[in-house]
Chain A
Amino acid sequence: MALVDPDFAAELKAYGVDTALDCFNCGTCAAICPLNFEHFPRKMIRYVQVGAKQKILQQAQDLWRCLHCGLCTRTCPRQANPGELILGLRRYVLAQFRRA
């Protein structure tokens, strides 16, 4: 069972993640991502939307698979900027790890 934190998306704004709620989960980003890896980055964005903070922290290492190539951002129909969102999540996770 995973606990959800409804304020997670708001907390992430301090790390530059402010478009997560614009995403409507169409999956274009996961389809075009060269990683072909477990619905990345859509899965991570969904976790942010539902406030699954623990899921993000458990799967944190996967965030660094992202190549920051920008294909997802270029093709996102909602301009939700998935690439920058992943970058913001890296900042958040790194800050949590360093704090710990």
Chain B
Amino acid sequence: MTSTALILIITLLTLGSYWVGMQRSIKVAGGVSQIKNMHSLPQQFGLLTAFCCGLPALFLLLLWGIVEPIIIQSLLVDSLDAQVQALSSADLSLYLNDIRIMADSTLSELSNDGVKQQAALYLQVLKDQASILKSGLILITALASVMFIASRFKLSFSARALSESVTKFLFLSCSVVAIFTTLGILMSVLFESLQFFKSVSSLDFLFGTTWSPQIAMRSDQVGSSGAFGAVPLFAGTMLISFIAMTIAAPVGLLTAIYLSQYASPTLRTIAKPMLEILAGIPTVVYGFFAALTVAPFIRDTGEALGLNVASESALAAGIVMGVMIIPFVSSLSDDALNAVPKALKEGSLAMGATESETIKKILLPAALPGIIGAMLLAVSRAIGETMIVVMAAGMAANLTANPLAAVTTVTVQIVTLLTGDQEFDSPKTLAAFALGLMLFVTTLLLNVIALKVVRKYREQYD
């Protein structure tokens, strides 16, 4: 029985047990008219029964999914010859993989290796047994726990308190998912990075100025060493983020100021959705726009001016990324401006200052921490942006500050290193995780600082 089918059956059983619990509690009470004598309502009994049916079953299913492959593999290895068992772990996993493929495929003549075929058959048997065992165990557990809880029902049984604390516990575990996600990200990135730093020194990675992540097939081949100096990537990321911010920061801030201080309600009702549209456009669309419209335009203009522009220039990616970030900057700045107490603005206007003077000398300084927070968040957004740079910024790891040259970024390299065929333990693949670690740490720092700045500032006026 497949897991999907099993989940479906568990769901049906859970729904059924809700009904069973309700009926059973009514029976215990002695009919519908006697419900008032019960501590809890029949629905609460039903809910409790449903929990007793579904939760242990799902938990077991999860546990089984984790444990089963390990047990089956060790059983399989035990059944093999001592000669095979003595293989190195990499060779052994290859050998086992062959067996797995043979067991999964219906073609029995895939290989003429009799030992492997026998092992494949044995694996098939093991899997079949495990499947039957799994389904049986889970279904019996579900039914047994329903019977157990139903047998305990009596008038004073507080099903309400019990079912509510289970619900509350479920809510709690849902809110912890976020923490597990962060932990998972940190662990996966950190673990692989540590492995990477075993083969490449972390100083070379952080301060090296050559990036050419090749791994040699032979030791005598040209450029066999492979260079993992990430400085050109950091520089490229900075360059593109800088270009993006020179567009997004003034335009976003001015838009926020104009919309919140000057604009008529009509303009606001048109402009706000326009900004939402800009914010809602997928990054891959911006990437397409940057690569196929903006980049050729910049190249042609540059050529007309006699400049040497690369076909995948940092400028094209930066400009489009700036446009993408405008709504982000403007909505955060808008919040910051709106948080300034009205009295400050009105006081300034009453003293005879013009509106622009009030904005420049009163509102902006008062909202500055919030605006700085917004800019930091925008920078972190620009650094982590992937699709625009993948499609428009190119792969060449040049260490340059020239916006017309092609540069590459951290995110581009992560995508290039991890798409396509890969072996998981080569430094080339692991380098992507090291870059991911840098990206995660940088954006996290920016966010923490930004949120701190914003929060501290809010406390001043509240």
The answer to whether A binds B is no
Residues of B that sit less than 8 Å from A by CB: none
Residues of A that sit less than 8 Å from B by CB: none
